[in-house]
């Protein structure tokens, strides 16, 4: 359990981890690449560590000066974020199948989908693999991806007591057909996984995606990574009399080639959103994240535009810097369909506005939130209600009702349960910056994406309350 104090004044540059979205894609691309890939800026978040462990299980090696294959030294890169990865790309048809692979993907939906596609379509035909999840990922599903793999000739069978379309899953690899069809994806990661698997082959293939792609910007991130590894990728939209049957055709051709220069992982935009909001919610002094700018392909870099809708000054942002100054001055109505990971941060900003009588906040486009590490809309609503706010919500939206005047301070400690979800822990930690005596249960879940979150915010001026003053859990 952890908490910040409303006496906090977060200001100045804040160190955020490197992007786990870029890092996981780079690790998978390097796995499917001949030669040695050098990666700079590997974050030590749990999701990336599981991606590295899965790559090793699939045949990649990690040479280091210390030992020829020292996983932890290389993964954490001596805490310098630099690693080498020798890939295990698809072999020729005469070379036969590979030994059985067991891949531990942890609680990462990104790793699960990327490695599931890679093991299914980028290994010699007949090779077997099992993708094993942990935590809340056991309850999550990816039916569109599993159906696409079956249609492509892959053997897909749930293992243990898994439900169809979920993990753990047993895979028997197949050579991909000329056209792979993905219908009505529930996540952009399904598209990304298939694109990466197809890019491992030297022949051009088509991925036909029928229906809208959620969080489409993350597919652009994937395409950028693949191009860095020498692949050709293009996309063309197609229409239909029924809008639900419109979509995109992606043409992709490999093989993947290790870049001549190290692949540099840029700072994580989702973490930057938390850092920038922390400044706005704790006095409004300018906060900046350097090395990440408004031109980033990461969809969550748009957080500066979203915070501007609350009245914050984001004019100091440019192509190499994201910056925010000033407190929120009003509520906002925002479409989060392109940036769902930022929605919990925006909910905290909306709570600030509501408690100060600055107006309502409505967040829409939240369709993907119920299927994350927690049922995020419900968890957010419950937390906001506990601090005295009126909240309306459904499966795709959240409305935080303001008052005509600032609300009275809460009496006594308020315990907000993050339900083991790092995004909820960030949102509730932000609330503790402006609501007295708010404590976050599950505060250590931030290790999934930002292991040193509490330390880095404290360095920037947040006041972390001593754990011995935490209220007892009932």
Residue 329 shares a structural domain with residue 450: yes
Higher pLDDT, 195 or 72: 195
Residue 419 shares a structural domain with residue 279: yes
Residue 290 shares a structural domain with residue 359: yes
Domain count, the chain: 2
Query: Is 16 in contact with 272 (CB distance < 8 Å)?
Result: yes
Q: Is residue 6 part of a domain?
A: no
Q: Residue with structure tokens 């870049």?
A: 259
Q: Is residue 262 part of a domain?
A: no
Q: Is residue 285 part of a domain?
A: yes
68 has pLDDT over 50: no
309 has pLDDT over 60: yes
Q: Is 161 exposed, middle or buried (0-12, 13-18, 19+ CB in 10 A)?
A: exposed
Query: Is 446 in contact with 4 (CB distance < 8 Å)?
Result: no
Residue 214 shares a structural domain with residue 87: yes
Residue 272 shares a structural domain with residue 311: yes
Q: Which of 253, 277, 303 is the last residue of a domain?
A: 253
Q: Is residue 138 part of a domain?
A: yes
Q: Which of 253, 275, 301 is the last residue of a domain?
A: 253
Q: Which of 221, 253, 285 is the last residue of a domain?
A: 253
146 has pLDDT over 50: yes
pLDDT at position 343: 97
Structural domain that includes position 140: 20-253
Residue 244 shares a structural domain with residue 278: no
Which distant-in-sequence residues (6+ apart) come within 8 Å of 216 by Cβ? 188, 338
pLDDT at position 61: 82
Residue 204 shares a structural domain with residue 148: yes
Task: Give the span between the Cα atoms of 239 and 245, in whole angstroms.
Answer: 7
Residue 211 shares a structural domain with residue 335: no
Least confident of 32-46, 56-70, 198-212: 56-70
Task: Give the span between the Cα atoms of 69 and 98, in whole angstroms.
Answer: 20
Question: How high does pLDDT run on average in the chain?
Answer: 90
Q: Is residue 134 part of a domain?
A: yes
Task: Give the span between the Cα atoms of 351 and 345, in whole angstroms.
Answer: 10
List alpha helices for 153-294, DSSP H: 188-199, 217-228, 269-280
Residue 469 pLDDT class (50, 70, 90 cuts): confident
| Tens digits of residue pLDDT in 436-453 | 999 999 999 999 999 999
290 has pLDDT over 70: yes
Query: Is 460 in contact with 4 (CB distance < 8 Å)?
Result: no
Query: How large is the average pLDDT for residues 212-227?
Result: 95
Residue 342 pLDDT class (50, 70, 90 cuts): very high
pLDDT at position 75: 47
Query: Is 237 in contact with 208 (CB distance < 8 Å)?
Result: no
Residue 470 pLDDT class (50, 70, 90 cuts): confident
| Tens digits of residue pLDDT in 267-289 | 999 999 999 999 999 999 999 99
| Tens digits of residue pLDDT in 77-96 | 434 455 677 887 876 544 55
Residue 331 shares a structural domain with residue 386: yes
pLDDT at position 77: 42
Q: Is residue 474 part of a domain?
A: no
Q: What percent of the chain has pLDDT over 90?
A: 77
| Tens digits of residue pLDDT in 121-143 | 999 999 999 999 998 888 889 99
- Phi and psi at 85, nearest 5°, equal -140, 120
Q: Tell me which long-range contacts 464-473 makes (C-beta under 8 A, separation of at least 24).
A: 464/2, 464/3, 464/4, 464/5, 465/2, 465/3, 465/4, 465/5, 467/1, 467/2, 470/1, 470/2, 470/3, 470/413, 470/439, 471/413, 471/415, 471/439, 473/1, 473/415, 473/441
Residue 65 pLDDT class (50, 70, 90 cuts): low
First to last CA, the chain: 13
| Tens digits of residue pLDDT in 352-400 | 999 999 999 999 999 988 878 889 999 999 999 999 999 999 999 999 9
Query: How large is the average pLDDT for residues 31-54?
Result: 89
Residue 131 shares a structural domain with residue 225: yes
Q: Residue 434 belongs to a domain with what CATH number?
A: 3.65.10.10
Higher pLDDT, 271 or 62: 271
Task: Give the span between the Cα atoms of 102 and 57, in whole angstroms.
Answer: 6
């Amino acid at each position: 359990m952890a908490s910040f104090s409303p006496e906090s004044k977060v200001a100045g540059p804040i160190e955020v981890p490197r992007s786990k979205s870029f890092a996981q894609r780079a690790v998978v691309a390097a796995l499917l690449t001949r030669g040695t890939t050098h990666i700079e800026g590997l974050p030590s978040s749990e999701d990336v560590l599981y991606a590295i462990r899965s790559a090793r299980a699939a045949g990649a090696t990690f040479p280091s000066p210390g030992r020829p294959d020292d996983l932890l030294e290389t993964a954490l890169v001596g805490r310098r974020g630099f690693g080498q990865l020798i890939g295990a790309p698809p072999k020729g048809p005469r070379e036969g199948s590979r030994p059985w692979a067991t891949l531990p993907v942890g609680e990462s939906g990104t790793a699960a989908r990327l490695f599931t596609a890679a093991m299914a379509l980028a290994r010699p035909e007949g090779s077997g693999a099992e993708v094993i999840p942990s935590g809340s990922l056991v309850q999550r599903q990816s039916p569109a991806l599993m159906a696409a793999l079956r249609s492509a000739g892959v053997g897909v069978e749930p293992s243990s007591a898994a439900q169809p379309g979920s993990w753990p899953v047993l895979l028997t690899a197949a050579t991909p057909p000329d056209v792979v069809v993905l219908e009505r994806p529930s996540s952009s990661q399904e598209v990304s996984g298939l694109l990466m698997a197809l890019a491992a082959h030297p022949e051009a293939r088509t991925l036909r995606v029928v229906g809208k792609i959620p969080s489409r910007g993350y597919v652009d991130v994937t395409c950028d990574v693949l191009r860095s590894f020498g692949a050709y990728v293009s996309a063309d939209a197609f229409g239909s009399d029924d809008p639900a049957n419109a979509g995109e055709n992606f043409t992709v051709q490999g093989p993947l080639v290790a870049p001549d220069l190290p692949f540099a992982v840029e700072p994580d935009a989702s973490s930057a959103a938390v850092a920038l909001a922390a400044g706005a919610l704790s006095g409004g002094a300018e906060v900046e994240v350097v090395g990440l700018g408004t031109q980033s392909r990461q969809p969550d870099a748009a957080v500066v535009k979203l915070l501007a809708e609350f009245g914050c000054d984001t004019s100091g942002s440019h192509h190499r810097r994201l910056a925010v100054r000033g407190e929120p001055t009003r509520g906002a109505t925002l479409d989060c369909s392109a940036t769902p990971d930022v929605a919990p941060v925006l909910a905290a900003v909306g709570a600030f506005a509501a408690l100060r009588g600055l107006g309502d906040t409505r967040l829409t486009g939240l369709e993907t939130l119920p299927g994350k590490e927690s049922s995020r809309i419900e968890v957010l609503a419950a937390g906001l209600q506990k601090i005295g706010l009126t909240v309306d919500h459904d499966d795709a939206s959240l409305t935080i009702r303001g008052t005509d005047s600032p609300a009275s301070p809460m009496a006594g400690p308020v315990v907000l349960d993050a339900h083991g979800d790092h995004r909820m822990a960030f949102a509730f930690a932000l609330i503790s910056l402006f609501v007295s005596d708010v404590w976050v249960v599950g505060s250590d879940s931030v290790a999934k994406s930002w292991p040193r979150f509490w330390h880095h915010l404290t360095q920037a001026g947040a006041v972390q309350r001593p754990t011995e003053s935490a209220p007892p859990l009932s």
